[in-house]
């Protein structure tokens, strides 16, 4: 016990030291699309190669809209605005072009790319966003009266994403803490006790940040707003779960031991095994994401694994320090040493009378209950066939409508699609004519725009007065304004005739790649924003198909070791997978018919699987480790009944806490996080209320001692 106290104080110091780093995590986020693709992706290779041609800048534009049509003096004023925007910090001035008028003359677009490597130093997301906001603000201040101004393009999209995550950490933390306080007050009915599990969870978050911050800062892992947001709710939710388990066991032991130190030590010994087993299961499942190709997957796993490890350590060391303060922390329902330890069940009847009665009824009707619940879950899982994980279009990725989305919709309405995100192709210079011809023949490509890329440095140097427009619709640039070969490689560009983030655009990129593959001498690579999105979709599918089977194997092995019973481990895993399938089936129906989401993020099935299966197994570990403990003292039926009665209340409370904390992701104005939050919240409740409470105990009691082989029951 003395060592536990010493460890508790040491971990307490670490958690307090990590507090300031929690606020610093947002400064090391990377939210750009290329930050998540591996170096082997074709679009990543093109992005790297394009820097040598001076084409690494971030496409962006400003749109000017006047219903009924822009006037002549408006056009003159916009020309002056374009000149003013060239001189702004962070703007690739040589590439600024326009204004370009729409056919109906209601809209004009000035192309304003941003420098991604100003002065030889790569700009981070926050610097790019600040530059984009400066561009839009300047355009609005100079625009003619009555003309509506919006940002658009990839730079505007990045601004919308970064703004969505701005201040998210504090908002999520505030809402999650508030929800947990309300639930803990309802569970404990104590004005004091809720403070200690919540304070421990916040210390765990600080300890996790202390480890994650330097790793993200030095590029060991890629941290984005999504992984940081999930880290917060996961630590708060899982930490409260572990605290509920330990405190519940402590309350139980306080009825048996007059000395609170002895009671805590008995509770700690009873809770440490399921907490460690639960944390190990979640950590191993999360670390399987390291097998993925997407950097966002490869970083989410370690980030959340660090959070779970810190949470388990804090709850097993720091929380006991708080619990040693005395029995008064349970006031007004202070547990007394009035139930001596026995095996008759009288103590459990006093501690949890409701779950004692429920467990008896479940075991008496075990077969009808497990068959009926299986049928219900299978029926819910049918909806999974309608789940569309093809990706969310950029304009539909937000629950609100950012300025950049409004601007891009205006551009898509008034101009030919694809102008703002050209296709980039890098190939051997000797095969350039053949590559350009392939681009021009590919459906979905505007033939006149397939050219050697513009060298904006040459264009600016040769221009007298206002440089000629380099608009994509103006055709190919003269040879003197084209980029020069670099290491016998040349850069070509082309515009699409469809929106750059549409399914048709992805099909066009696939067609280009297939056609160029038939010219192996060109060694061609296709990139650009559309190719980046497509490569992200393909990598997400690869990660899903690889990681999910590995996680199933890993969790099965861990369950077998924890329960020391292979049949029980397999049955348990089957119930959790069935619960996961039922959750996805419900999500497909709810997302389409209630939330009206066009599709789900490509990583949604994988993230939902990781969290639901790992966390769903948690609750069954809590249940079955206690059941196995009781079986070794009682018979099979008595052990299951006693285990369910002992853990029923705490697991139900833990499930509600975890579901509520993940539901907090609904405050984030990003569809992808809202989807993950809903799926985990619903799935945890389904697993807690149906799978763990009814299906698992009923099934195991019906199967009998065979489920516990090779343990003799």
| pLDDT one-digit tens code per residue, 626-648 | 888 888 777 888 888 888 888 88
Place of tokens 């509506």: 148
- Distance separating the N- and C-terminal Cα atoms of the chain: 33
Average pLDDT over all residues of the chain: 85
Greatest alpha-carbon pair distance for the chain in Å reads: 97
pLDDT over threshold 50, residue 93: yes
**Position 187 confidence tier, pLDDT thresholds 50, 70, 90:** confident
For residue 546, give the nearest of 605, 593, 588 by alpha carbon: 605
Using a 10 angstrom Cβ sphere, with 0-12 exposed, 13-18 middle and 19 or more buried, the burial of residue 590 is middle
Is omega for the bond preceding 710 within 30 degrees of 0, making it cis?
Answer: yes
In 564-710, which residue ranges form alpha helices assigned H by DSSP?
Answer: 566-593, 604-631, 636-663, 671-686, 696-703
For residue 609, give the nearest of 432, 387, 449, 416 by alpha carbon: 387
Q: What is the model's pLDDT at position 681?
A: 93
Q: How far, in Å, are 360, 385, 579, 699 from residue 374 at the CA level? A: 20, 18, 9, 10
Mean pLDDT of all residues in 41-70: 85
Question: What distance in Å separates the CA atoms of residue 674 and residue 591, rounded to the nearest whole number?
Answer: 10
Taken in order of first residue, the domains within the chain and their CATH numbers are 59-162 (3.30.70), 167-337+345-394+534-708 (no CATH), 403-533 (no CATH)
For residue 425, give the nearest of 498, 542, 517 by alpha carbon: 517
Taking the model in full, what pTM does it have? Answer: 0.82
- pLDDT of 202-218, one tens digit each? 999 999 999 988 988 88
For residue 483, give the nearest of 534, 426, 525 by alpha carbon: 426
H or E element in which residue 72 lies:
helix 72-86
pLDDT over threshold 80, residue 478: yes
Q: From start to end of 117-192, where are the E strands? A: 148-152
516 or 498, which is more confident: 516
pLDDT over threshold 50, residue 348: no
Q: What is the model's pLDDT at position 460?
A: 64
């Amino acid at each position: 016990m003395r060592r536990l106290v010493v460890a508790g104080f040491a971990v307490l110091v670490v958690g307090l030291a990590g507090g300031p780093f929690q606020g610093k995590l947002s400064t090391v986020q990377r939210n750009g699309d290329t930050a998540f693709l591996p170096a082997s992706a074709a679009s990543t290779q093109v992005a790297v190669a394009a820097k040598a041609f001076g084409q690494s800048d971030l496409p962006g534009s400003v749109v000017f809209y006047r219903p009924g049509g822009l006037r002549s003096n408006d056009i003159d004023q916009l020309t002056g605005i374009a000149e003013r925007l060239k001189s702004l910090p962070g703007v690739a001035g040589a590439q600024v072009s326009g204004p370009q008028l729409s056919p109906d003359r209601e809209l004009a677009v000035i192309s304003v790319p941003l420098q991604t490597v100003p002065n030889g130093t790569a700009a981070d997301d926050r610097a790019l966003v600040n530059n984009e906001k400066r561009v839009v603000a300047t355009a609005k201040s100079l625009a003619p009266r009555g003309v509506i101004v919006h940002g658009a393009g990839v730079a505007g999209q990045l601004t919308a994403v970064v703004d969505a995550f701005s201040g998210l950490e504090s908002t999520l933390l505030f809402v999650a803490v508030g929800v947990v306080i309300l639930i803990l007050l309802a569970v404990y009915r104590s004005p004091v006790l809720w403070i200690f599990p919540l304070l421990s969870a916040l210390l765990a978050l600080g300890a996790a940040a202390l480890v994650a911050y330097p790793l993200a800062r030095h590029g060991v892992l890629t941290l984005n707003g999504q992984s940081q947001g999930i880290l917060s709710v996961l630590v708060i939710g899982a930490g409260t779960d572990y605290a509920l388990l330990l405190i519940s066991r402590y309350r139980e032991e306080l009825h048996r031991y007059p000395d609170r130190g002895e009671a805590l030590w008995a509770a700690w010994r009873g809770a440490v095994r399921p907490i460690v087993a639960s944390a190990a299961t979640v950590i191993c499942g999360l670390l399987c994401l390291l097998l993925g190709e997407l950097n966002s997957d490869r970083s989410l796993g370690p980030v959340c694994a660090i959070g779970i490890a810190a949470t388990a350590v804090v709850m097993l060391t720091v929380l006991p320090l708080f619990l040693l303060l005395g029995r008064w922390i349970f006031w007004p329902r202070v547990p007394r040493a009035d139930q001596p330890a026995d095996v008759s069940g009288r103590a459990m009847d006093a501690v949890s009378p409701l779950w004692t009665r429920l467990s008896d009824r479940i075991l008496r009707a075990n077969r009808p209950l497990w068959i009926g619940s299986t049928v219900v879950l299978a029926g819910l899982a049918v909806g999974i066939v309608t789940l569309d994980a093809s990706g969310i279009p950029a304009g539909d990725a937000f629950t609100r409508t950012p300025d950049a989305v409004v601007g891009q919709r205006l551009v898509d309405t008034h101009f030919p699609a694809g102008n703002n995100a050209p296709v980039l192709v890098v190939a051997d210079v000797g095969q350039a004519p053949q590559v350009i011809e392939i681009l021009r023949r590919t459906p979905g490509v505007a033939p006149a725009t397939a050219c050697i890329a513009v060298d904006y440095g040459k264009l600016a140097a040769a221009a007298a007065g206002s440089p000629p427009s380099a608009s994509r619709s103006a055709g190919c640039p003269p040879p003197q304004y084209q980029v020069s070969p670099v290491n016998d490689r040349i850069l070509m560009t082309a515009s699409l005739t469809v929106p750059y983030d549409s399914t048709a655009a992805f099909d066009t990129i696939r067609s280009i790649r297939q056609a160029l593959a038939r010219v192996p001498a060109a060694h061609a690579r296709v990139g650009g924003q559309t190719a980046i999105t497509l490569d992200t979709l393909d990598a997400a599918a690869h990660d899903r198909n690889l990681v999910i089977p590995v996680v199933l194997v890993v969790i099965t092995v861990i369950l077998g070791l924890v329960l020391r019973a292979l049949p029980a481990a397999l049955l348990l895993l089957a119930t959790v997978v069935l619960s996961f399938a039922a959750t996805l089936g419900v999500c497909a129906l709810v997302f389409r018919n209630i939330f009206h989401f066009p599709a789900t993020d490509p990583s949604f099935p994988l993230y939902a699987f990781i969290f639901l299966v790992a966390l769903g197994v948690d609750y069954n570990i809590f249940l079955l480790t206690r059941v196995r403990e009781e079986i070794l003292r009682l018979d099979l039926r008595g052990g299951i009944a006693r285990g369910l009665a002992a853990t029923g209340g705490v697991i139900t409370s833990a499930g509600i806490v975890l579901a509520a904390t993940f539901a907090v992701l609904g405050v984030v104005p990003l569809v992808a996080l809202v989807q993950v939050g809903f799926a985990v919240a619903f799935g945890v409740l389904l697993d807690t209320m149906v799978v763990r409470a009814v299906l698992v105990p009923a099934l195991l009691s019906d199967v009998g001692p065979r489920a516990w082989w090779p343990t003799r029951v």
